[in-house]
Structure 1
Amino acid sequence: MDDVEKAAIRRRVLATRAERGEEERRTGSASVRETLLEQPWVQMAGTVACYWSIGAEPPSHGLVFALWKHGKAVILPVLQPDGDLDWAAYDGPDTLAPGPRGLMEPVDTRRGPDAVRTAALVIVPALAVDPGTGVRLGRGGGSYDRALARVGPNVPTVALVYDDELVPGVPWDPHDQRVKWAATPSALTRVG
């Protein structure tokens, strides 16, 4: 039953995202970026694990660039054949190359899946987040669940979603990892 519910939420969110206009995405992205950059725990983070958004995902490009320009060591994922995530340094927009599934990946030396453990802040994609539990719904491949399982308990984990993607009652499985924050265009919300 949970798989059916997850699939229904994924379909609904992806359809809604496809209808969002470029202006909504751009202004939402700027709002999320500014809100996150104001947080002391973001300002103090030396290494940040983030991702380069694709398609209709809440745009992360400006956030990644701003973190890097503010002196953060930013690491981005590199999708491995088994679906796990390796990590490599972002050193500006010219250091990305096309990867599998339409992803843009850093060309720097791979640091291994455990490199995410070095991050003082982890920002991940999501299709939905349950505001009461922090359950994060991804696309179903488990890549970010594996990465989040490696992150220490005191490290802030943030999912980027649109406001209507805070969904009470997101179904979950034992392997699903929770996040501590949801960043939307209108607010930064402590979840769970």
Structure 2
Amino acid sequence: MTAHGQDRSASPDGAVRAAKDQVRARILAARRALPAQERAARAEAIAAHAVALADGVSGPVCSYLPFGTEPGSPALVEGLVAAGHDVLLPVVPDGAGPMDWAPWTSDADTAPTRIGIREPTGRRLGPGAIAQAALVLLPALAVDRAGTRLGRGRGHYDRSLPLAAPGALLVAVVDDDELVAALPAEPHDRRVAAALLPRAGVTWLRNRN
């Protein structure tokens, strides 16, 4: 409630945020219910699709280490490196602002943050390092056919993606049933060009340039 007794969720922006939270809760519950064996099989497929997608890409690839029940596994990053790519991973700032980036060398050179996400411990390259990447693989809870990506709501990628190169390929990594017809969106949401799915592989979206 506001100081004037109005429920913020009754505003247009509040309604969109509430709708996003409902989708997040549903997807997180479904991910928690997924058997470990099936999650591992999907992660293996995602890693193979990512390596195939990155074939021929010059320059580093921006990726991530999956957190909790996020689709994928460290094999996603390991596969890209084994294929000859330099991989940059995000480093989440303590406050608001875009993420920093650091090169991945091995899982031994990562450490958990206070919220459990593993980050590289090597030298920081600065938020602008994302501009070096022609391919950016993004964690997501869902993505729709128009390219709207739903994240966890912290806004780190929303503040980082505007720094990506204009021609960079932005790809959301989700499970097949997390590619949906439409998602609630806000003006600051940055759209992606494709979804990377364990069964369907790379699926191009209407937002593709």
What TM-score range do you get, normalising by the shorter chain?
over 0.9
- Take 1:78 and 1:44, find their aligned partners in 2: how far apart are those partners? 23
Give 2:35's match in structure 1, choosing from 21, 30, 48: 21
Which 4+ stretches in 1 moved above 6 angstroms?
none
The answer to whether residue 133 in structure 2 is matched with residue 119 in structure 1 is yes
Unaligned runs of 5+ in 2: 1-14
The percent identity for this pair of structures is: 39
SS across alignment from 1:52 = coil
TM-score, normalization by structure 1: 0.94
Residues 137-177 of structure 1, C-alpha deviations (whole Å, 9 max, x = no match): 00001101112111123111111101111122201111111
The answer to whether residue 144 in structure 2 is matched with residue 130 in structure 1 is yes
- The 5 Å alignment of 1:82-101 reads 82-83=95-96, 84-101=98-115
Partner of 2:163: 150
- Take 1:57 and 1:44, find their aligned partners in 2: how far apart are those partners? 25
Structure 1 residue 60: deviation in Å?
Answer: 3.4
- The 5 Å alignment of 1:1-80 reads 1-39=15-53, 41-80=54-93
Aligned length: 190
Which letter does structure 2 place at the counterpart of 1:158? V
Partner of 1:190: 204
Residues 85-136 of structure 1, C-alpha deviations (whole Å, 9 max, x = no match): 11001001111111131110001111111111111210010001002x1000
- Take 1:88 and 1:54, find their aligned partners in 2: how far apart are those partners? 17
- Take 2:55 and 2:162, find their aligned partners in 1: how far apart are those partners? 21
SS across alignment from 1:88 = strand
Unaligned runs of 5+ in 1: none
Residues 30-70 of structure 1, C-alpha deviations (whole Å, 9 max, x = no match): 1122122223x543233000011111100231110111112
Which letter does structure 2 place at the counterpart of 1:54? F
TM-score, normalization by structure 2: 0.87
